[in-house]
Structure 1
């Protein structure tokens, strides 16, 4: 169906957003047991990356990496938090935060695991900066994520979510790693660029007006 005039009544199934809002379809995925691939020895000498645990990271340092990884996909929720609220999460003993660093020590990605719900591990944030994608490093990072998630005593479920603002390969990637979609919902939120939290890093999502 073509929408020729936004002032005209919308067809069934269409919902107008308030000026300045964005909407995304979110898919939640879960894994109820470790994939068999985690038990196999995988040579990784050629992967020029390492995970570096960030304990008690400064909020400003965290936001810088968060933005480098996620600005293209309009990650914004952590940018809207003040220092105290952000620190309460990333300094929690049941939250594990890692930077992905290259051989020169430059951070090129991030991994955040949230164990605050008993028996569960959420892959809260997972990603590489644009220049590090498309090289097969995502599989390496996911393997590391799952090893740590399933390595925590008492974990019986690992879950993650992605949305239609993420790269088109995100959902197929998670499914290929063994995650099974179990829920879908719509999230409506203010455009973070309109709030001044982000600039023009996501040209694939036009700013209206």
Structure 2
């Protein structure tokens, strides 16, 4: 069985295009995970992506996963609500002055609480300032990301509100993995 997936690629070409979100209703701390940890990264990936079937990294061996999050210009930013991880953004310097927001999202229990816009706004600001934190990286000229029809219903709107513009759309057929995530029943039932 296959699933038709639409993928949208979005970009910003100037730091002047970024639009921060208003502060969330509750106290949220955004902290950089300064020690790259494949185990922590895999936890965030499965917790955020479980209900939208993120699977592209699940087959990676430990060493490759560690390389993905440890390279020059790779950073992971984690949103915490009262000490609990609520979501994350993974940044990676790709080409000369290009930064990709590789992964971004919230754990299902934290969606719809005003946290996503705040986290994305900080991640975008950090992407534009990546060279200032990593000696030897060129200044950022472009920040980009992609989202798809499997992502949450508010993902695209959040990206557009933060100043991203659409530059490409692709439709593909993917296997319908029906993977429940880290364990069956791990995510809450959808809210009405």
TMscore range, shorter length: 0.7 to 0.9
Query: What SS class does the counterpart of residue 160 from structure 1 fall into?
Result: strand
Tell me if 1:79 matches 2:58: yes
CA separation in 2, counterparts of 1:58 and 1:86?
Answer: 9
Once the two structures are superposed, residues 6-56 of structure 1 have per-residue CA deviations (whole angstroms, 9 ceiling, x without a partner) of xxxxxxxxxxxxx4x333110101111124665x8x884964111222234
Distance 1:96 1:121, change over 3 A: same
Query: What SS class does the counterpart of residue 64 from structure 1 fall into?
Result: helix
Of 118, 130, 148 in structure 1, the residue corresponding to residue 108 of structure 2 is 130
Structure 1 unaligned blocks of 5 or more:
1-18, 205-209
Q: Counterpart of 1:119? A: 97
Task: Give the alignment's TM-score, normalised by structure 2.
Answer: 0.81
Once the two structures are superposed, residues 89-116 of structure 1 have per-residue CA deviations (whole angstroms, 9 ceiling, x without a partner) of 111122111221122x211111101113
Task: Give the alignment's TM-score, normalised by structure 1.
Answer: 0.75
Does the aligned pair in 2 maintain the 1:76–1:197 contact within 8 Å? no
- The alpha carbon displacement at 1:147 in A equals 1.2
Q: Counterpart of 2:152? A: 167
Tell me if 1:58 matches 2:37: yes
Once the two structures are superposed, residues 91-142 of structure 1 have per-residue CA deviations (whole angstroms, 9 ceiling, x without a partner) of 1122111221122x21111110111322111111111111111111111111
Does the aligned pair in 1 maintain the 2:25–2:114 contact within 8 Å? no
Query: What SS class does the counterpart of residue 15 from structure 2 fall into?
Result: coil
CA-based RMSD of the aligned residues comes to 2.9
CA separation in 1, counterparts of 2:175 and 2:91?
Answer: 26
Higher relative contact order, chain-length normalized (CA < 8 Å, sep 6+): 2
Tell me if 1:97 matches 2:83: no
Larger Cα-atom Rg? 1
Query: What SS class does the counterpart of residue 94 from structure 2 fall into?
Result: coil
Q: Counterpart of 1:7? A: none
